[in-house]
Amino acid sequence: MKLTDKTAIITGASRGIGEAIARNFAEAGANLVLNARHEFPTELIKELEAFGHGVVTVLGNVDDPATGQQLVATALDKFGSADILVNNAGITSDMLTMRMKPEDFARVVSVNLDGTFYVSQPVFKKMLKARTGVIINLASVVGLTGNIGQANYAASKAGIIGLTKTLAREGAMRGVRVNAIAPGMIATDMTAALSQASQDQILAEIPLKRFGQPEEIAHAARFLVENAYITGQTLTVSGGLG
C-alpha cells in the first residue's frame, strides 16, 4: 500500500510521535484525520496542509467509544475511506506497585488499552468490509520487558501487543494487516519530564547511547504501512534497549 490519496487516522497527533507520524504521512501523500484531547497548534495544521492534502481534526478522549465512532465517520465523510489507523494516544502515571492507587492503574489502562480497542473496532469493521487496510498500534518496549514503577503502563502496552496479534489474525482473511511498534526511550515531552539523573540512568542501559527521535518511529510506521507482507508483528525501535 502506498500513501498517495489514502486516508490515515492518527490519535494523539498534536505532538511527539503522533505529530511526527502525521508529518511523515502527509509528505507521502495521505489525507489526515487527526485526534487529540486539546486543540491543535495552528502552525502545525498549516504545515501539514502545505503538503497539499486534506487535514481535519477531531477532538476527544480515546477512552470514550464515541471518539472512535466520530473518527471513522469523519474519515468516510471527508475523504471516502479509512485506509490507515495509527493508535498513538497514551498516558503514564508512574508509581511503585505497592503505592499505586487503583484509579491510577485503571486510568492508564483505560486510555492506553481500552482506547486502542475503542478506536480500532469501528475502523476495523470498515476495513474488513473494504477488504483492505492497515492498523498500527503504539506499544512500548516496557510492554515486553516490564519496568519498575510502571505496572499500569507496562500492562497496558503488553495488552496492546496481544490485541494487535488477535486483530491481525482476524483481519488477515480479508486483507487487513495489524502490527505494533514498541518504541524505547524517545525524545518527547514525556521523557523530557524525567529528572536528569533518571535520563542518565536510562541512557546507560541503551546500547546506542542516545534517545530515539519521534521521526524514527514515524519511519517505522510508514515501513509497516507500505510492506504488504507484514502482519501480527511487534517492531521494536529502541536503540537496543530491552
Order of all β-strands in the sheet with 84-87: 55-59, 31-36, 7-10, 84-87, 133-138, 176-183, 234-237
For residue 57, give the 3-state DSSP assignment.
strand
pLDDT, position 1? 63
Domains contained in the chain, number: 1
Let me know if residue 1 belongs to a domain: no
Report how far residue 182's alpha carbon sits from residue 196's, in angstroms, rounded to the nearest whole number. 23
* Element (DSSP H or E) covering residue 93: none
Model confidence pLDDT, tens digit, residues 66-112: 999 999 999 999 999 999 999 999 999 999 999 999 999 999 999 99
Let me know if residue 136 belongs to a domain: yes
Report how far residue 113's alpha carbon sits from residue 225's, in angstroms, rounded to the nearest whole number. 21
Task: Please identify every residue annotated as catalytic.
Answer: 153
pLDDT, position 189? 83
In terms of residue numbers, what domain contains 179? 7-237
Let me know if residue 162 belongs to a domain: yes
Q: pTM, whole model, 2 decimals?
A: 0.96
For residue 181, give the 3-state DSSP assignment.
strand
Is the pLDDT at 212 greater than 80? The verdict is yes
Let me know if residue 2 belongs to a domain: no
Report how far residue 11's alpha carbon sits from residue 87's, in angstroms, rounded to the nearest whole number. 5
Burial track 141-173 (b if 16+ CB lie within 10 A, e otherwise): bbbbeebeebbbbbbbbbbbbebbbebbeebee
Is the pLDDT at 2 greater than 90? The verdict is no
* CATH number of the domain bearing residue 156: 3.40.50.720
193 confidence band (pLDDT: 50, 70, 90): confident
Contact criterion met (CB below 8 Å) for 157 and 140:
yes
Report how far residue 207's alpha carbon sits from residue 228's, in angstroms, rounded to the nearest whole number. 31
Report how far residue 84's alpha carbon sits from residue 3's, in angstroms, rounded to the nearest whole number. 9
Let me know if residue 109 belongs to a domain: yes
Let me know if residue 89 belongs to a domain: yes
Let me know if residue 242 belongs to a domain: no
